[in-house]
Chain A
Amino acid sequence: MTAPTALIADDETALADYLKAQLADVWPELRVVGMAHNGVDALRLIDELAPDYAFLDIRMPGLSGLDVAGKLAGSDAAPQIVFITAYDQYAVDAFEREAVDYLLKPASLDRLRQTVTRLQRAASEMAAAPAARPDAELLSKLAGLLGGGVPSNRLEWIRAAHGNETRLIAVDEVIYFEARDKYVSVFTADAESLIRTPLKELLDGLDPAKFWQIHRGTIVAARHIAGTVRDFRGRTLVKLKTRPDQLVVSRAYLHLFRQM
């Protein structure tokens, strides 16, 4: 019987080396055939070296540990996977709930021994423990549980022209948008910038709970609204907390303020 082989992937060299040294202690027969420091290299090396086991860090540049496992899912030659994660109660809960093997960084020898025992038992039973070969569905579920894994189509940053530079404005900072002739003005606490994205398109990328359209040409961030006033013409105007501007509410959107 040939010696079992393993690959370790962690972007922090010291952590990868340390795990290698610990494994040498608790599992002397295991041969670490490859070390990767980003997700892309990890995937390539697994492909080249076909190790029996892969210890994958979750947070890695290029591809995350979950991404790498996802790309391997379903293939027969896939190694058994142990995820490595820095302490994070949510992560631990997520792994435990889904019965995926994981190690906490830095792993104590005792904890590592448990994992090794489990891996060896699975190998001797000649049946891959299903949990050690997570399928794509499980991985995407995990990615969701760990947060930040699912790309959202919500707008987070806006690139806007301000004078002759392009500024990045976090959507959270925007107080209101106002449509002008060809442009849309983006107002933050201290500046007005221009974007070309039409208001209608912006609306699709904004969280309707946070941004309210109050007029055909105006979208305002709800948390920046101080209140409303009526002017002498009977129009309802929105007063803002951090800007002196008053925004007209058109009749179609008056229902937003009925209780205020």
Chain B
Amino acid sequence: MATMTSTRTRATLTTATASDPNNWHPLEIIFPVFRRWPSTRARDLLYTLIWNMLLWAAISAVVLMTGSPKDLGRFLWVNFVITQSVGFTIHLLFEVGNYLLGKQVAQSRGAVRALYFIAIPVTGVFVGYTLAFVMLDLKGAITWLYSSRGARSVAIASLIISAILATITTMRAKQSAAEAALAQERQRTIDAERRALEAQLRMLQAQIEPHFLYNTLGNAVGLIDPAPDKARILLERLIDYLRSTLSASREDTAPLERELASVRAYLELMQVRMGDRLRFSLDYPEALTHACLPPMLLQPVVENAIQHGLEPKIDGGTIRIEATQQDAMLRIQITDTGIGFQPGARPRPGGGIGLANLRERLATLYGTDARLTITDHSPSGVCVTLHLPLTYC
């Protein structure tokens, strides 16, 4: 009898309320398939019902194998009522216990924790049995339950319950540890993928357009005879530009000063080519000299502004680059007075893709901490604003 009792009391062990993120039901620990549905109060009640039914079936099967009771129907019914009553009582007690003491229990260890997990099932068995016997109108059984023999049975049962509880709790702990290890492994993979993606995106942004290179070299050749000084400036700036662009794929971060120097090299080069059609300004406070930037982040934005904003405009225009500090953020604004985005205009090859690429890079590097906004600039042109978390290097 004692063994039977103890087996039945395994019925319900809901150790946390629905609001607890660490909520779990013993059913989902024994049978992983039940982990598929997120924990809610209704789900847990249903799980307890399933658990009770499974136990009832198991106990009935064991008893029927060892010998046949006189009245089979009566036996099954009594057993059913007891399993359900004890199971739901323990469920209810854990709900109440966790509601009142959930936090303390979660933080507690050793003896206090053991006491909690022993006290609730023991109380649950007594109350559950009492309720079942009342419902079944078995007065003699109640008397037995509160006799010394009955109490001893339950005491033994409770020891076994605690052992089972300990097993399940250990299983749960192992499972969480395994899950944590898996999550860590997954995170490592994600990190590796993220780094690979970032490297790839950076490579894409650091690509030098053949068009640009041939036009620049064409200019240089053209300037050698009529304006050798200009040709020299052009080639020097081209070397600066190539050096920073080609080395960008090797480093993870670069100080603002250096990034803007390479932007300046590009703009000065373009100024030789475009003449007075291109005017530019570059501004940042001294304090931001060593602010950290991912390399080649600004360059494509500036190249975009020139290629799609100023070059197609007959009179050209101005490009203004401004870095400021805003609270804990580095804010960089690149404004051009070019043709802007005209509805129905010819698609700008690479325009949207370049920016999508940039946005992807920001997301890879900073998650949601970085922002990229594009707005119209009045009366014409585009304003690109970047917000990055401010760090120094």
Instruction: Show the binding face of A for B, using Cβ within 8 Å.
Output: 11-15, 17-19, 21, 38, 40, 59, 61-62, 86-88, 104-106, 147-154, 156-157, 159, 162, 165-173, 189-190, 242
B176 contact set on A, CB distance < 8 A? none
The segment from B24-32, B64-72, B100-108, B344-352 found at the interface with A is B344-352
> Looking across the interface, which residue of chain A has its beta carbon closest to that of B275?
A13
A-B contacts, 14 listed (Cβ < 8 Å): A13-B275, A15-B222, A18-B221, A40-B314, A61-B313, A61-B314, A62-B314, A86-B211, A86-B214, A86-B215, A106-B218, A156-B341, A170-B355, A172-B356
Bound-complex Cα distance A200 to B368 (A): 31
Bound-complex Cα distance A158 to B223 (A): 42
Which residue in A62, A87, A157, A190 is a CB contact (below 8 Å) of B352? Answer: A157
> Looking across the interface, which residue of chain A has its beta carbon closest to that of B307?
A59
5 closest A-B pairs (Cβ-Cβ)? Answer: A18-B222, A106-B218, A170-B352, A168-B374, A87-B214
A15 in contact with B219 given A149-B346, A170-B356, A173-B359 (CB within 8 Å): yes
Bound-complex Cα distance A11 to B314 (A): 9
> Looking across the interface, which residue of chain A has its beta carbon closest to that of B374?
A168
Of the candidates A61, A165, A171, A172, the one having the most CB atoms from chain B within 10 angstroms of its own CB is A61
B349 & A148 in contact (Cβ 8 Å cutoff)? yes
Which residue in B214, B273, B346, B375 is a CB contact (below 8 Å) of A165? Answer: B375
A148 contact set on B, CB distance < 8 A? 346-349
Bound-complex Cα distance A175 to B343 (A): 21
Bound-complex Cα distance A59 to B272 (A): 18
A38 & B352 in contact (Cβ 8 Å cutoff)? no
Which residue in A19, A87, A152 is a CB contact (below 8 Å) of B210? Answer: A87
Which residue in B227, B343, B356, B371 is a CB contact (below 8 Å) of A190? Answer: B371
Bound-complex Cα distance A14 to B346 (A): 27
Chain A proximity mask over B358-387: 1 for CB below 8 Å, otherwise 0: 010001000010010111100000100000
B110 interface contact, C-beta 8 A: no
B353 interface contact, C-beta 8 A: yes
Smallest beta-carbon distance A100→chain B, Å: 19
Bound-complex Cα distance A167 to B355 (A): 14
> Looking across the interface, which residue of chain A has its beta carbon closest to that of B218?
A106
Instruction: Show the binding face of B for A, using Cβ within 8 Å.
Output: 210-211, 214-215, 217-219, 221-223, 225-227, 230, 272-275, 277, 311-314, 316, 341, 343-349, 351-353, 355-356, 359, 363, 368, 371, 373-376, 382
B375 & A105 in contact (Cβ 8 Å cutoff)? no
Bound-complex Cα distance A173 to B357 (A): 10
B275 contact set on A, CB distance < 8 A? 13
Bound-complex Cα distance A173 to B368 (A): 15
Smallest beta-carbon distance A191→chain B, Å: 8
A87 & B273 in contact (Cβ 8 Å cutoff)? no
A86 contact set on B, CB distance < 8 A? 210-211, 214-215, 218
Bound-complex Cα distance A151 to B347 (A): 6
Smallest beta-carbon distance A106→chain B, Å: 3
A168 in contact with B211 given A12-B219, A14-B222 (CB within 8 Å): no
> Looking across the interface, which residue of chain A has its beta carbon closest to that of B272?
A14
B363 & A166 in contact (Cβ 8 Å cutoff)? no
> Looking across the interface, which residue of chain B has its beta carbon closest to that of A162?
B373
A105 & B215 in contact (Cβ 8 Å cutoff)? yes
Bound-complex Cα distance A172 to B357 (A): 10
Which residue in B221, B314, B349 is a CB contact (below 8 Å) of A147? Answer: B349
B214 contact set on A, CB distance < 8 A? 86-87, 104-106
Known A11-B274, A167-B375; 15 more pairs at CB < 8 Å: A15-B218, A61-B312, A86-B210, A87-B211, A104-B214, A148-B348, A156-B351, A157-B343, A157-B352, A159-B376, A162-B373, A166-B375, A168-B341, A173-B359, A189-B363
